[in-house]
Chains A and B, each alone.
Chain A
Amino acid sequence: MAVQSETMKPPRSEVGLLGWLKKNLFSTWYNVLLTIFSAAFIYIVLRAVITWVVRDARWAVVTTNLRVFMIGRYPRDEAGRVLVSLGIIVLMTALTWVFRKAKGKPRRWLVIGWLLSFPLITILLRGFSRESPFLPLVSEDIWSGLLLTLVLAIVGILASFPLGVLLALGRRSKLPIIKVLCTMYIETIRGVPLISVLFMSQLMLPLFLPPEIRLGTVMRALTGMALFSAAYTAENVRGGLASIPIGQYEAARAVGLNEALVMGLIVLPQALRAVIPAIVGQFISLFKDTTLVVIVGLLDLLGIAKAVTAQKEFIGLHKEAYAFTAVIFFICCFTMSYTSRRLEQRLGVGER
């Protein structure tokens, strides 16, 4: 084979830049037309965007308010705590990347590290009590800006995922009561817009909870988001569970695994792997849906953009503020989407 491919090279028109251009852009007369129109369109749009970004836009609204965009009303003197938290996450991400192929001990330490970092960051950001000399309380109800967006998204994702898996398992349960309850929950939530779930969680949660527990606005919004997202995650996971052939259950039971091990070792790993794209899609939409908390009076990144442009000196600079917000949202969502694709490749989705 090697000899043959050396002696018989492909025709020149098939390879190289010219070959590629001819094949992909100028193969027929209508493709030539399409290519020219598209190029012209791209040129016009790009030129307008670049001219605006470089020449016309007044980025002072962003640069002056950068801290506000990032952490909103979080006290200026305590801003270092946010930076340290960010540092912890960056460090953990870097360590995870360095040891991504490791197994055994380092891997266990990574998991422990991540598990510890969340309570640590919570304490760091929230602090102890109002009078405490060390890390005074910064109530989560004054968190805002990108900080609030990220907290809502990350905690929402982390809380809704296990809940969603449990709901999916519940919906497939053999026990009729559990099955009916889970199905009712999922279908009810899916039949209602997120805005109404957010309103309900603001108004109804205090009624359901014992009077000793008083949740702030952010916690109530978070609960609403997590409960909402869990219903969608559950349906995605259910799809994955349905894709596992019955033979897998039978083989697992035949080697002597009990029901919990069949689920935990054989079915769920395969089912979750199969629905990574759908679940990450759900997480991305949860991330963007965090902007809806504006309606319950919270200032997420988008809310801050609106507030910032209401300042006297920056009136009329909506475009700049929203463009900046859009770029940040895009970076976050694209990162999730990219990570998901890498994860799929590494876990070999679709290879059976």
Chain B
Amino acid sequence: MQNENLNPTEDIIICRDVHKWFGDFHVLQGVNVTIKRGEVVVVCGPSGGGKSTFIRTINRLEEHQRGDIIVDGIELTSDLRNIHAIQREIGMVFQSFNLFPHLKVIDNVTLAPFWVRKWSKVEAVKVGMELLERVGIPEQADKYPGQLSGGQQQRVAIARALAMQPKIMLFDEPTSALDPEMIKEVLDVMVELARSGMTMIVVTHEMGFAKEVANRIIFFSDGNIVEQNTTEEFFLNPREARTKLFLSQILTH
């Protein structure tokens, strides 16, 4: 396996022939993809096509049943130590925020660094406040998630994921549950993050965001990658009929 990854520091995520079934439903049908360090990849496609399931297999929220997933040199197997090691390196932002409602904003952010990274409380709070400043809401630190707007909650969720200092960030439709006027504040944070050199995989329909920062677009449909290309090529010269159809549907408005 090692000799296959000639440059393991370059390829941070390697998926080879990844399959997954939900019961009889073959949701991932042999996905092959490699993500490079620092790359920003947007995954788009019709709903039900398996794109969310795909990124959720990368941090083991879903278990793949065949094929290999190698994250930063660690292979995802049923070995719990490997799973936790990978989960520590990957931050994830969900469509429905999933903040911990019983904890204050700052505690949401410092929880994992304190309990998993074993930082001191003082250090964790210091880093946590820096992150809240980075996402633009340091003044909300002592509130509970329920007291924040959707856009603010999603920015807290980004700060919470960043607090573990992950090497990779996964975004699962981060703006789909937001009111239109709040989408921009979240996308702004994500653009800043992308420009800082973070490796990002973003499932989204925000094509403006894709055009602005993505290095590569992956079009996902019916359980597999239909087409992938650099951002420019993807929008200018889509090759597959399904891609063209999808683009015509989402870009007409």
Residues of A within 8 A of B (CB): 245, 247-248, 250-258, 261, 265-266, 269-270, 273, 348, 351-352
B96 within 8 A of A: yes
Whether the Cβ atoms of B101 and A254 lie closer than 8 Å is no
Query: In the complex, A258→B90 CA distance in Å?
Result: 14
Q: Which B residue's beta carbon lies closest to that of A348?
A: B144
Q: Mark B27-51, 1 if CB is under 8 A from A, else 0.
A: 0000000000000000000000000
List 7 tightest A-B contacts by C-beta distance, closest first: A251-B98, A255-B112, A247-B98, A256-B88, A254-B92, A256-B116, A352-B101
Whether the Cβ atoms of B144 and A256 lie closer than 8 Å is no
Query: In the complex, A348→B80 CA distance in Å?
Result: 35
Q: Mark B44-62, 1 if CB is under 8 A from A, else 0.
A: 0000000000000001110
Query: In the complex, A256→B164 CA distance in Å?
Result: 8
Residues in B neighbouring A269, C-beta threshold 8 A: 102
Residues in A neighbouring B161, C-beta threshold 8 A: 254-255
B167 within 8 A of A: no
B201 within 8 A of A: no
Whether the Cβ atoms of A250 and B101 lie closer than 8 Å is no
Whether the Cβ atoms of B98 and A248 lie closer than 8 Å is yes
B87 is contacted by which of A254, A266, A348 (Cβ under 8 Å)?
A254
Whether the Cβ atoms of B146 and A261 lie closer than 8 Å is no
Nearest-neighbour CB distance to chain B for A352, whole angstroms, equals 5
Total cross-chain contacts (CB, 8 A):
65
Q: Mark B74-89, 1 if CB is under 8 A from A, else 0.
A: 0000001000100110
Query: In the complex, A248→B116 CA distance in Å?
Result: 17
Whether the Cβ atoms of B100 and A254 lie closer than 8 Å is no
Query: In the complex, A253→B84 CA distance in Å?
Result: 8
Which residues 10-36 of B have a CB within 8 angstroms of A?
A: none
Query: In the complex, A254→B162 CA distance in Å?
Result: 11
Q: A255-B161, A256-B87 are in contact. Are A248 and B100 (CB under 8 A)?
A: yes
Nearest-neighbour CB distance to chain B for A22, whole angstroms, equals 39
Residues in B neighbouring A254, C-beta threshold 8 A: 59, 61, 87, 90-92, 94, 161
Residues in A neighbouring B163, C-beta threshold 8 A: 255
Query: In the complex, A270→B108 CA distance in Å?
Result: 14
Q: Which B residue's beta carbon lies closest to that of A251?
A: B98
Q: A255-B116, A270-B102, A273-B102 are in contact. Are A247 and B146 (CB under 8 A)?
A: no
What would 10 more interface pairs be, CB under 8 Å, given A251-B100, A254-B92, A256-B116? A245-B98, A247-B94, A247-B98, A253-B61, A254-B161, A255-B164, A256-B87, A257-B111, A258-B80, A273-B102
Query: In the complex, A261→B88 CA distance in Å?
Result: 14
Q: Which A residue's beta carbon lies closest to that of B96?
A: A247
Selected A-B contacts with CB under 8 Å, 5 pairs: A245-B98, A254-B94, A255-B161, A256-B112, A348-B144
Nearest-neighbour CB distance to chain B for A261, whole angstroms, equals 6
Whether the Cβ atoms of B84 and A256 lie closer than 8 Å is yes
Nearest-neighbour CB distance to chain A for B82, whole angstroms, equals 13
Whether the Cβ atoms of B102 and A251 lie closer than 8 Å is no
Residues in A neighbouring B92, C-beta threshold 8 A: 250-251, 254
Residues in A neighbouring B64, C-beta threshold 8 A: none
Query: In the complex, A266→B160 CA distance in Å?
Result: 14
Query: In the complex, A324→B177 CA distance in Å?
Result: 59
B111 is contacted by which of A245, A253, A265 (Cβ under 8 Å)?
A265
Whether the Cβ atoms of B111 and A251 lie closer than 8 Å is no
Q: Which B residue's beta carbon lies closest to that of A255?
A: B112
B99 within 8 A of A: yes
Query: In the complex, A247→B163 CA distance in Å?
Result: 19
Query: In the complex, A247→B91 CA distance in Å?
Result: 15
Nearest-neighbour CB distance to chain A for B102, whole angstroms, equals 5
Q: Which B residue's beta carbon lies closest to that of A254?
A: B92
Q: Which B residue's beta carbon lies closest to that of A256?
A: B88
Q: Which B residue's beta carbon lies closest to that of A273?
A: B102
Q: A256-B84, A256-B88, A258-B84 are in contact. Are A251 and B99 (CB under 8 A)?
A: yes
A250 is contacted by which of B61, B102, B115 (Cβ under 8 Å)?
B61
A351 is contacted by which of B60, B88, B144, B160 (Cβ under 8 Å)?
B144
Whether the Cβ atoms of B160 and A352 lie closer than 8 Å is no
A352 is contacted by which of B61, B94, B112, B146 (Cβ under 8 Å)?
B146
